[in-house]
Chain A
């Protein structure tokens, strides 16, 4: 049922109300409180698809995560817009949806043959509780909850982030229940196994951040004892990066 309506009010009440509102505003000004006013409006983000201009409104026609991610110029440069279930989403340029995983070419028993990587050595630290193989000559940066490995001239960057898994939950359950929000745009996600151990692979476009170059990243999740490890490799659009993190994860002990 619809209809017009208005509030009838006695003139004396109107005057009283105006007085009270004025008193509150004056009181706030004197005490330093700001009267809540309308939130300053941001410049609406618009996109152009097939010659049409579309205003993006988070929660209405774009998810808040994607809306946040498109602040990164790397993401926008490498992506195209597609409409999925009424929401605008990003896809990498030159790829037709749906994305399909390439069959794995990686043999975990053999180190990948990557130009510039001649030998491998073992990363081990008392605090981390695990060890794995990584290319000799790479810079190792230890942090409380991660290990970063950087190839000469920043050709590759691999980071291992550690997340607690006190119940030793299976990877699938842990990711469903506790996985951190990475932000960015997920291009691909699928489950497979390395040496029979379940892993989840992802390709994600991430904005640049501290200890993280922007652009496409290859991610591999794997469970290890009472932790879940996220191997994140850059540049993620190169097959060598995927082979690198796969081999390093397969040597995890």
Chain B
């Protein structure tokens, strides 16, 4: 065998030779260990706080653990902190918080409170108090005060990065929208009404924290009930854009994601008449109608986490001249739908004629949809796959039972439940 052939032989069979040597060394036993790759973790579902029998209950959707927080039947509007470790709620008019793990309850307001929000990070709860804002740190159980010298503060909203707090306030007859830094040191007027006809009501922040959404219009209740122009005020510049359409002053009819704003457009207090689902990719762009008034009567829009779809609840379109004749049927036939934003293709996800389905929210990274189901007896919370399959009841009862008619077909579900994503 010439050296070249020998070299080729060793190069080809050397690994086999080594293997045989090892087997021989192991006395004929070759142990192979197969390592299983870790399975992709299932996205967590989060936590729900809800009101049943006037008490606050907290359900961890991932562990299934249910805790009753209060026992006096006097509570409403639960709001979970960012990590779902605390829940804030109203007991009568006063504001309380409770530690979800221990159930320890603390009254944090000295007067009635109607607006309160948790910080995006940590566990600081802000609410109007003492002519300014009170900030309650649930971790340290201590409060601090942001003095603003403003008597009436409404509609608080914490910027997504936690740096600024926006609110609207009434000074004399003029309402303004302002921001204040979380430490209370910097305060800015973002929008000031020129008169009684352009009074602002704060709706919330854009996801990038550059814009504030607000309704701007007459202070008259009759005007507000039938919808106001919907506008965007820049936080950095003196810039205001309005959609031109009247929009109902219902915070749950607006959902803002990185893909743009989705909202229910259309004037008239009757939520089942003449409403459309619109999106606005940029505040200075042109609105695009996804669901027209002739097609459906949509409510409660919710962007999917990937920004490709919007879930919403909708009943059939109802003509103006049959609005009250068909009201109950229109409300009862609200179902959960999703629409693909790019193709416009609509898919009905629920269709059980015994129930009215409302207020969908996406959970577990878009894998599931959580929503409210009402029948003649009760309102509950249900979970389904995002394609409508595997319907599961999570909460059988939210009571005091909401009036099915609500405010012209609108039920402020945040008075009954709050879901916090993990």
Contact = CB atoms under 8 A, between A and B. Distances in A.
B322 A170 contact: no
A38 interface: no
Contact of A177 (B222, B269, B322): B322
B325 A196 contact: no
A176 B321 CA distance: 5
B321 A197 contact: no
A170 B226 CA distance: 7
B221 to A, nearest CB: 9
Interface string A101-122: 0000000000000000000000
Interface residues of B, number: 24
B268 A173 contact: yes
Interface in A170-206: 170-173, 176-177, 193, 195-198
Contacts of A211: none
Interface string A136-177: 000000000000000000000000000000011111110011
A173 B273 contact: yes
B321 to A, nearest CB: 4
B100 interface: no
B323 A173 contact: yes
Interface string A194-236: 0111100000000000000000000000011000000000000
B220 interface: yes
A193 B218 contact: yes
B34 interface: no
Contacts of A176: 319-321, 323
A196 B322 contact: no
Contacts of A168: 269
Interface residues of A, number: 16
A198 B270 contact: no
Contacts of B219: 196
Contacts of B270: 169-170, 173
Contact of A197 (B220, B267, B273): B220
A195 B225 contact: no
A129 B164 CA distance: 46
Given A169-B324, A173-B273, A177-B325, A193 B223 contact: yes
Among B219, B225, B228, B325: residue with most chain A CB under 10 A: B225
Given A176-B321, A176-B323, A177-B325, A170 B220 contact: no
Contact of A170 (B217, B225, B319): B225
B267 A196 contact: no
A176 B274 CA distance: 12
Nearest to B196: A195
B72 to A, nearest CB: 34
A223 to B, nearest CB: 6
B242 to A, nearest CB: 14
B324 A177 contact: yes
Interface in B247-280: 267-270, 273-274
B197 interface: yes
Among A171, A176, A196: residue with most chain B CB under 10 A: A196
B324 A167 contact: yes
Interface string B318-340: 01111111000000000000000
B324 A170 contact: no
A168 B324 CA distance: 11
A190 to B, nearest CB: 14
A173 B323 CA distance: 7
Nearest to A166: B324
A198 B325 contact: no
Contacts of A193: 218, 223
13 contacts: A169-B270, A170-B225, A170-B226, A172-B267, A173-B270, A173-B273, A173-B323, A176-B320, A177-B322, A193-B218, A195-B197, A196-B197, A198-B223
Given A170-B226, A177-B321, A197-B220, 16 more contacts: A167-B324, A169-B269, A169-B270, A170-B225, A171-B226, A172-B267, A172-B320, A173-B323, A176-B321, A195-B197, A195-B220, A196-B196, A196-B217, A196-B220, A196-B223, A198-B223
